[in-house]
Structure 1
Amino acid sequence: MTAAQTTTLGPESDLPDVFELAQQLRVDSVRASTAAGSGHPTSSLSAADLMAVLMTRHLHYDWDAPDNPAGDHLVFSKGHASPLLYAMFKAAGAVTDDELMTTYRRFGHRLQGHPTPVLPWVDLATGSLGQGIAYGVGIALAGRDLEKEPYRVWVLCGDSEMAEGSVWEALDKAGQHRLANFTVLIDVNRLGQSGPTELEWDTAAYARRVEAFGCRALVIDGHDVAEIDQALTTAADGLAPTVIVARTVKGRGVAEVADKEGWHGKALPKDLAERAVAELGGIRHLRVRGPQPPDAVPAPVPSSGPVELPRFDVGDAVA
C-alpha cells in the first residue's frame, strides 16, 4: 500500500493494512501537535497500534450516528493523548484533515487539548487522570442493567494513572458486578511525566493486581497487531471484565524520541516532525468503517404504581 492511496478499512481488513492505519494515526498525531506547537505526541504514538486494531475490527460504532444507544463506548482516560483520538476521528471521516491541522488546541475550537463532550463522539471529559475507568464501569453497568443494550465499553488508560486509588476501586466494582461488557487497555509505555513509572514494564505485576480485584488480565505486546486482535477478541467473549496489559514504547516509531525521557507533553520541532513523518512512511489517506452496532431496541419501561413514603412516629429511634 502506497502513501498516496485512499483505501477504506473494515472488520475483514488484513492486519498489515491495520498496521498501516496505526502508522497513519502516528503521523497525524505528530502533524497536529507540531502544527499547534503543543500536545502529547509521544503518549499518542505508544497506543496507536491498540487503537488501530480496536477501531477497525472491534469497536461497534456508527460515526455518522453517535447517538445510537446500541453503539459501543470508547473512553480515553489518558485524555492528554488527544492527538491520537482526533487522528482516529479523521480516519473515521468525522473530522477533516484541515480541522485537525488548523484548529487543534486553538482557543475557541472544539479539538481541545483534552477531549470534551462538545464533540458528539466523546461521552465525557477526561482531563484528570485516574477517572476514566470509573466512568467506564458506570457506563457498562447502565448498559447491561438499565438500558439493556448490547454495547461494550472500552477504556484506554495510561500506566501512570494506574497509581491512582480510584482506578483500583473501579476495577473492584467491575469484578464484583462481573461486567463482561467492560474492557480496559493499559498503555504500559514505562515513562510518566517526569521519569519512569513505579512498575515500568513489569506487566506481570499489573496482571497480578488486576486479577486480585476480580478481573481477567491479558498481557500482550502492544505493538503486535495480531496479539492485540486476539486479546480484543477474547475480551469480547462475554465471560469476564477484562484488562489488557499492553507493553508499549513511548514515542514508538520515531527513533529520536522513542523510550527517551524529556519528551512528555512536548510537540516535536518542525524539523524533527518532518523526519518523524518520513520515518513513519509518510502521510496516508486511509479511512475506516469498522463493525456497525445493531439497531437499538428501547428498554421496556417498568410499570409505575403508587409510591408509599416511609412514616415515622414521634419518639421512634431511627438510624
Structure 2
Amino acid sequence: MSGGRRGILTGGTWCADYNRTVSHWPGEDGLAELFEEERHGGGSGCNLALDIKHLDPAIPVETIGLVGDDDDGRYLRATAAAAGIDTSQMMVTAAAATQFCDAYVSLSSHRRTHIFHAGSGALLTPDHFDFSSTRMRYLHLGLPGVHRILDAPWHDEANGWVVVLKKARAAGLETNLELASVDRALMARLVAPCLPHLDFLIVNDLEIGAIAGVETIVRDAPDQAACMRAARAVLERGALKLVAVHCPAFAIAVTRWGEGVVLPSVAIPKQEIKGANGAGDAFAAGMLYGIHEGWSVGQSLRLAHATAAASLRSISTTGAVLPWRDCLALADKWDSRDY
C-alpha cells in the first residue's frame, strides 16, 4: 500500500434518505400511488462508506461529515458505527436539522427523482476537514452543488472543494470526487478548478459530458465514442490518473498511461430490479475498492458493474450490496449485456 496507508476516508454529504416507491413519477398537478417507504442513510459520504464495508468488512473506513442534533443525525451516526465506520470526525451541530432527501423510485421506469433539504449540509466548511491524523489511503469527497459554503469561493480559492482536496493531498491522501445531478453549467464551473487536485474521477455519462463540454447523448442514448472523447479530454485537463464513466449499458475507463477499457454492464433480470437509487455510488465503491487492492483497470471495472447490479435489488442506496466475491458471482450468473 502507498506509504503504509490503507483504507478509505469519505467526506461530505451525509443525509437521511426517505426512499419511496411510487407507481410512476407524475407531472405537476399529477397523481401517483405510494407503495413503499423506508428510511436509510444517503449521500456520497454515507453510501460509499457503507458499500465499501459491505464489499469487505475488514477494510478501514473513516468519514468526515456534519449532521444535526436530531433523530436523523443520531440515526446516521448509529448506522455508521454499526457498520464499523470510524465516526470520530462526524460532527454534530445544533444550528440546523440534518440534511434529508425524499428519494422517489418509479416502478414504471425504475428511474429516481430526488428532492432534498440542505440543512446541516449547508453549514459544512473546509475547516471541518482535518487530515492530520488519518492513515487512510484515499479520500472520496462529495457532493459539489448541494453544499452552500463549499460551493462558494473560500479565501483565495475558487471554491471550498479545492481547499479540501489540496489539504487532503498535502496530507498524503489520493483523491476522488463524487458528483450530484445538478445543473450542467454549475457542475462544470464547480468541478473545473478541482481537476488539478484529483487522482480519480468516477462519474456517469451525463456528468462527464457536462465537465468536458461534450454531448454524450446521441439519439437519446449514451454514445460510447463520445463518452470516451469526453473522458480523455477531462483526463488531460488535470492531474488525474484515471477517469471512469458509467451508464446503464456500459462503462469505460481511461488512464494517464494510455489505457482504455470498455465493458458492458451486467444483464440483471428486470424482475430483480427495485430501483437505481445509489447505483452510481455502488459503481464507484466497486471501482475504488479494486484500485485500492491493486487490481487491474479491467478487474476493477468488472467489480464496479457487479456492485452496481447488486445494488439495484433494493430501493435503498446500500441495502443490497454484498461482499465483493458474492457481487462477482451474481454478475457471472446474470452475464453481460449485449452491447
User: Which one has a larger percent strand, Structure 1 or Structure 2?
Assistant: 2
Larger RCO (CA under 8 A, 6+ residues apart):
1
Shorter-normalised TM range: 0.3 to 0.5
Q: Which has the larger radius of gyration?
A: 1
